[in-house]
Chain A
Amino acid sequence: MLFIVWPEPLITIGKDTFIADALRHAGAVSIVDSSQSWPQMNLEEVVKLQPEFLVFAASHGGIAARDFEALSSLPGWRILDAVRNRKFAVISDAVNRPAPRIISAIEDLARQLHPEAFIEVQEKEKLEKEIPPKTNRSSANPAHKAMNLEIPSEEACACAR
């Protein structure tokens, strides 16, 4: 995937930023492996690497959706598979701040990138509702539960490039 910090010019994240670290926890692998923290990316390079998802962080979904539409009307961006297939994920801009809310942003992204990994969790939660387990402490917080249960496998990481 490609995390878009700023679309014009295209700025993304390098591997040493805390955002990159947060995204890795969501099972997202950035196509950019730069040691520069905020590299300005060459569009050709992005098309060559064909990210599976474009990831936007925005205070509300509308802004990111509009950014995506604006990009998809530009020549060059149109030949990206992610743009053609309208594969983009929008997460809260809490991911831009190393603060407690970053956890829910990570979970949100993981849900969008790996919906299949959450099916199991939902079923378990359903089961737990029907037959309440005796030690109930860990299921009090579904966000933490999802984080602990579903650290995506190597395969899942690879599929979310």
Chain B
Amino acid sequence: MRPLTLQRLLLRCAALAAVLFVVVVVALKLGAVPVSLYGLGRDLIRVMLGQSRGISTDYGMIVIDIRLPRILLGIVVGASLSVAGTSFQALLRNPLADPYVLGVSSGAALGAILALIVEPHLAISPEFAALFTPVGAFLGATATIAAVYFLGRRGGQIDSSTLLLAGIISASFLSAIILFLMTTLIGRDMRGMAFWLMGDLSTPLQQKLRWVLGVGFFAAAGAIYTTAADLNLLLAGEKEAMHLGVDVPRVRLVVYIAASVLTGLAVSVSGAIGYVGLLVPHAMRLLFGSDHRILLPAAAFGGAIAVVIADTLARTVVAPAELPVGAMTAMAGAPLFIYLLRRRLA
């Protein structure tokens, strides 16, 4: 294997960025209203220059105000899930690990559902009401992360296998609570729950949340990237990594918290979109090898590409209606996973 140089890293990232760019342009073009490439470019430049008033037509507004934010949301959610999945697979040294394995998504779903239940009984301003469910989801995710962290310790440190078991059991316990709530609640809340359980990018995000999401993604993904070289050594085993000078407890803590935050952010704005965090890391590993210094950025691009494609299909296949994006990723994900698995065995 050739050693990784900065040039090779940048070259691969540039290639993936180019693919992402093409996917985004196609996704911007497809949808309810027709838009020409020329008009698209002109409108985008106007927005970047801060002259959004120059866009006069309603169609331009649809693309800039609805389609573009949704695609950007898909990029951040996909990249978060995929980076979190890669990190958990390395941290737990388990190829089946995904962002949801430690119960973060169930915690977020439960938080969101509880928020949906209490919200009508509280006298809060409408502007805050729109923030209520994502905030509830994030609090649910954070509480789960903390609980699993304390359950997953052995001798004062995180222990990978204890953590995995604590996460799995927490997830199934939380799912049981969700099922209980679903059977006892009225119909109006059921729809909202289906949203959290399936994953959906159709709800536009408030301006403030966009900033939180963007900054949170770069901070958490950056923190994980600082441990990329250590994660490579961790693949050989925790003892081996320790002998090679890796501060294993610190790496575990940083990766665990950062990956959980990424998952929590993604789930709180989009629900649980399955398979992206499991499949994209494996696909990227087949393409680029398992050096985390390149695997992590590749996974970020790959996840973004996968979710944008899936969401574009979700909103165009049955137009004028749409499908939840989670249904698309699950339908495409499972067969693809089986294919990758069999190919590796052959």
Contact = CB atoms under 8 A, between A and B. Distances in A.
Contacts of A39: 320-321
Contacts of A40: 202, 321-324
B192 A8 contact: yes
Interface string B189-224: 001100100001011111100000000000000000
Contacts of A11: 191
A6 B192 contact: yes
Nearest to B127: A73
A78 B58 CA distance: 12
Given A40-B202, A42-B315, A47 B126 contact: no
Listed residue (B206, B318, B322) with the most chain A CB atoms within 10 angstroms of its CB: B322
Contacts of B120: 63
Contacts of A6: 188, 191-192
A159 B342 CA distance: 59
The B contact surface, by secondary structure, is helix
The A contact surface, by secondary structure, is mixed
B67 A74 contact: no
B62 A47 contact: yes
Contacts of B287: none
Contacts of A73: 126-127, 130, 206
A36 B319 CA distance: 11
Nearest to B200: A9
Interface residues of B, number: 36
A117 to B, nearest CB: 30
A78 B202 contact: no
Nearest to A71: B130
B33 interface: yes
Interface size range on A against B: 20 to 34
B193 to A, nearest CB: 11
A48 B65 CA distance: 13
Interface in A27-44: 32, 34, 36, 39-44
Contact of A75 (B65, B126, B318): B65
Interface in B281-325: 315, 318-324
B246 interface: no
Given A42-B202, A73-B126, A73-B206, A47 B191 contact: no
A77 interface: yes
A73 B129 CA distance: 10
Given A48-B33, A66-B129, A42 B188 contact: no
11 contacts: A9-B324, A10-B202, A39-B320, A47-B32, A63-B120, A68-B126, A70-B127, A73-B130, A75-B65, A75-B66, A79-B62
